[in-house]
Chains A and B, each alone.
Chain A
Amino acid sequence: MACNPELVSAFLDGELETVILHPVVAHLMQCDHCCQTMGWLAQVKEGIAGHYWNDSEDLTQSIMGAIRNEKVYSRHTSLFERLRRFGVPAVLLATALAQVQALEAEDPAQQSDLLFRPPMVAQAAEIE
């Protein structure tokens, strides 16, 4: 899928339509440009709301721990870590990933979607 900053903005808000959610997440796993877009969108979003998510290390670790502990979230830790590197606050990421959790809880079949795996894993599966 091509870069689409409007969809990245909606993902940040936890407002992506279910049909496009997995392709956008898969795209974010491999597109640095869109990850950086999400980084500055998060800054603007924070500024408008007047928040300052200066995530402490403890808070970030807590959220990551929660992600790892949730079966649904377990495969999303890499996305979480990746977007953190682009400056998206952990708290906002938790909101964004919650929509993925909701979708997969609603439709377990979505969990087998190859698109949603990190690219390397997906390629290996195709080779097999």
Chain B
Amino acid sequence: MNIFGKMGSLRMAERLEEGVGDAAKQITVKNHDQILIDRVLSGDQRQQDKPEAQYQSKVSTIISRYVDDPDKVRDLVQETWIKAYRALSGFRGDSSFFTWLYRIATNVTKNHWLSAGKTVPISELEEEFEGEYVLPQLHDHETPERQLLRKEMLENVQAAIESLVPSMKKAILLRDVQGLSYEEIAEVLDCPVGTVRSRIFRGRQEIANRMRHYLGERHRGRLSGHVTNMASAQ
């Protein structure tokens, strides 16, 4: 069984960002979003610079949590982008662009279920709360013990991330929280792509070492062997 709880990337990202200390990453990503939006509004339609190129997979991910049919997911993703483009000029930048997009995607998904006459997933969808989005915390099968374990585990993940050296931490957060490509990270951090790849791997490795207690038996054994091998090779 997977050890990590379903907290959702957005909430987690916000928490991580709060703890990072170095706000450079957050500012950079926000600037990056604003550049994307400005380009769209000014009619600049270079494919690689379109917001959908940047956030397509994240939007698909949000919707596919609640919709299994791949064709329907595709339709809803498209609907999300149509709504987003129509409303883009009204985006005030109070929240991050992804947060704003996230709300549109969840609303589109809710409407899909409502129009289908179903209500089951609605209660599980993230609910807006004064500009923030509370991700699904509880499912019927989750016990207080599981919740506690999840909370403890998430705290440990954060602590493990905090313990990384800054260069490694930035690379990891830009990749796994903000979803930037290696090339984009290299640009942000002003280093070669190979360095980014190395920092991300070593960061994950260090986090895994600290999280060993939570990893399943199969992974724990392997991880132990792997780390030993890595150490002896160095």
Residue of B nearest to A9 (CB): B201
Most buried by A among B10, B161, B197: B197
Residue of A nearest to B7 (CB): A50
Whether a CB of chain B sits under 8 angstroms from the CB of A47 is yes
Set of chain A residues within 8 Å of B3, measured between Cβ atoms: 43, 47
Contact B218 A52 (CB under 8 A): no
Contact A13 B57 (CB under 8 A): no
Q: What's the count of A-B pairs with C-beta under 8 Å?
A: 121
Most buried by B among A41, A46, A48, A52: A48
Set of chain B residues within 8 Å of A5, measured between Cβ atoms: 201, 205, 226, 230
Set of chain B residues within 8 Å of A33, measured between Cβ atoms: 222, 225-226
Contact A41 B64 (CB under 8 A): no
Whether a CB of chain B sits under 8 angstroms from the CB of A49 is yes
In angstroms, Cα B69 to Cα A10, docked, is 29
Contact A48 B207 (CB under 8 A): yes
The interface stretch among B18-26, B102-110, B119-127, B171-179 is B171-179
Whether a CB of chain A sits under 8 angstroms from the CB of B111 is no
Set of chain A residues within 8 Å of B8, measured between Cβ atoms: 50-51
In angstroms, Cα B3 to Cα A10, docked, is 22
Q: Which residues of chain A from 48 to 83 have any CB-CB distance to chain B below 8 Å in the complex?
A: 48-54, 56, 58-59, 62-63, 65-66
Interface residues of B (CB under 8 A from A): 2-13, 16, 57, 61, 64, 68-70, 153-154, 157, 161, 172-173, 175-177, 181-182, 197-198, 200-201, 204-205, 207-208, 211, 215-216, 218-219, 222-223, 225-226, 229-230
Beyond contacts A50-B13, A59-B64, A66-B70: 20 other A-B pairs, Cβ-Cβ < 8 A, are: A5-B205, A5-B226, A6-B201, A13-B175, A15-B197, A33-B226, A37-B222, A39-B219, A41-B204, A43-B4, A44-B207, A44-B211, A46-B2, A47-B4, A47-B207, A48-B177, A51-B9, A52-B7, A59-B68, A87-B218
